[in-house]
Amino acid sequence: MREKIIHKAADLFLTLGFKSVTMDDIANKMGISKKTIYVHFANKTKLVEATTLHVFEAISQGIDCICAVNKNPIEEIFEIKQFVMEHLKDEKSSPQYQLQKYYPKIYGALKSKQTCVMQDCITENLRRGVDMGLYRNTISIDFISRVYINNMICLKDKELFPLKDFSMTELMENYLEYHLRGICTPKGLEILTRIINNNQS
């Protein structure tokens, strides 16, 4: 039952937001009593904590699977973006922003875990891209990986990028193109152009 509650809570939190969804909402959607939820979670904060950890682990495992295939690094980065957006339901409820605002301790712990996973992933992506001649061999991998991670976090700042003006899909696609155009070789740019054209058609 604990796992079922986490799955349903994750679905509701990501669709409607951490602030909007109550314990009553989750109980009603599951057709159980609120007391049943409290058997497994002392309060909503504990449920939010368990849910964010569950979503983080699912996304991390998915990213590992994508990286294990060893596609070319440019295709890989777009596939990871697509996978993450699907799991976070295009971030329409601004889950990270709400988490930061209403559950700062949970957000802090999650951000630390995310940074570690992203650092390993993007560093390896950059190394392989250089080795394959798709990224320029003059780039500073340590510098670019840190800039990439911090810019990804900035994209989720709803004061900087209000949802009414920018969809998360649009932001992610624009940022990936911006990032890759700065580091690609002519060979890499050919792949990037093909991917962008395919996504637009």
Amino acid found at 14: L
Tokens matching residue 7: 């799955």
Half-sphere exposure of 56 (CA within 13 A, CB side): 20
From residue 171, how far is each of 3, 67, 72, 135, 157 by CA, in Å?
Answer: 33, 23, 23, 22, 11
State the Cα–Cα distance between residues 10 and 39, nearest whole angstrom.
18
Give 139's pLDDT tier (boundaries 50, 70, 90): very high
Query: Would you say 68 and 125 are in contact if contact means Cβ atoms under 8 Å apart?
Result: no
Identify the pLDDT of residue 71: 82
Count of Cβ atoms closer than 10 Å to residue 84 Cβ = 17
Q: What is the pLDDT of residues 176-196, one digit of tens each?
A: 999 999 999 999 999 999 999
Domain of 75: which CATH number?
1.10.357.10
Q: What is the pLDDT of residues 57-112, one digit of tens each?
A: 999 999 999 988 878 999 999 999 899 888 876 566 677 788 888 999 999 999 88
Q: Residue 64: which of 131, 116, 15 has the closest Cα?
A: 116
Residue 91 DSSP label: G
Tokens matching residue 28: 């009603």
Is residue 195 assigned to a domain?
yes
Is residue 22 assigned to a domain?
no
Query: Would you say 63 and 80 are in contact if contact means Cβ atoms under 8 Å apart?
Result: yes
Q: Residue 119: which of 97, 150, 82 has the closest Cα?
A: 150
Query: Would you say 85 and 195 are in contact if contact means Cβ atoms under 8 Å apart?
Result: no
Range(s) of the domain holding residue 170: 56-200
Is residue 79 assigned to a domain?
yes
Is residue 28 assigned to a domain?
no
Number of residues that make up the chain: 201
* This prediction's pTM: 0.85
Structural domains of the chain, count: 1
